[in-house]
Amino acid sequence: MAVLTNLLDLDPDQLIAYCAELGEKPFRAKQLQRWIHQFGVSDFEAMTDLAKSLRDKLATRACVRSSAIISDHTSSDGTRKWLLDVGQNNAIETVFIPEESRGTLCISTQAGCAVNCRFCSTGKQGFNRNLTVSEIIGQLWMAEFELRKTKGINSGHKGERQITNVVMMGMGEPLLNFEPTVTALKLMLDDNAYGLSRRRVTLSTSGVVPMIDKLSHKCPVALAVSLHASNDALRNDLIPLNKKYPLSELMEACKRYLQFAPRDFVTFEYCMLDGVNDGDHHARELLNLVREVPCKFNLIPFNPFPESGLKRSANSRIRTFAEILLAGGIVTTIRKTRGEDIDAACGQLAGEVQDRTRVQERMQKQTEYQKKFGPDFGRIVEITG
């Protein structure tokens, strides 16, 4: 059986080349992109302005397929989280955060993460593999059209764009999965796909310096850096990657990136850890560290998980820390924690992925055993599993 080409894997130029292989002109690729990414259509027969001969070719050679949804939960604050199956017992999570003036989608780029930051539960899951282009852009494709369906049911505004901003801040380090991430970015920005502004697409990195430079030349979007420490000794402990790319090199990379970036500042993310990185002296060290880098700070209240051994800074301590940065002339915000009740808050994206995957495996085995040994076997599995 022939392997089908998943058209979600192809950026605009690749789709033009694919159409050329089928004997079709470049404008067919633009039509295809609009059907797929603007209207969410996966059935080629429904793409009514394509020639019947092209639809027949596509039906036997191509597909439009995103990862299967394992679960779909909505928080009390409206945050929505999907758990997606990416095969071989791996799952990823995608989170939508609705606000009055925008809707932000948080996308994963890897199954697990190899960076292993102390304060991030995703890192404790370990690294499984890089995601493909279709698995990355497929999160946006899936979420956009799932949200449109819900919007239509709830308010009668079916078909309206729901996602205005995308952040590469989900599971994984985007710059360690560089080419698929960049291809997905190009689709997000393309006018025949999602047409997002470079200013509305943000890539967050823990500081892979050579890839920051590479991104600035291949597809510069807004840049966020997971900083979380004011000196190398502390950052080495919190983010092991810092031993390879210390703060001095990271600051220089940020300055170089700003020559190409769509925004004239870098966002530094800073997770507030009680008694670890939240002292007044840390704030003053930060002012000295970033004095030559146009930036803003986003202070993130830590979302505790047992394996970390860390605690969230008190609200009063976070406010004092912010005041020192503000007094030093740095625009500083404190991130509002969203989706905690469904483990969708920052640093929680691993959530219970592995546990849920094991539950799914047990349920499948339970069904198989019940067929073989009878319905009562399930009770034994529940007790001993």
Active site residues: 93, 346
Alpha helices in the chain (DSSP H): 12-21, 26-33, 52-61, 121-125, 133-155, 178-189, 209-218, 232-238, 247-257, 280-289, 315-327, 353-373, 377-384
Alpha-carbon distance 157 to 159, whole Å?
A: 6
Closest CA to 116 of 125, 103, 107, 104: 125
The CA–CA distances, whole Å, from 87 to 69, 90, 131, 316 equal 12, 5, 11, 44
The residue whose two tokens read 């009740």 is 341
The CA–CA distances, whole Å, from 257 to 74, 207, 222 equal 36, 12, 10
> 307: which strand partners?
none
Q: Is 270 left (phi over 0), alpha (psi -120 to 50) or beta?
A: beta
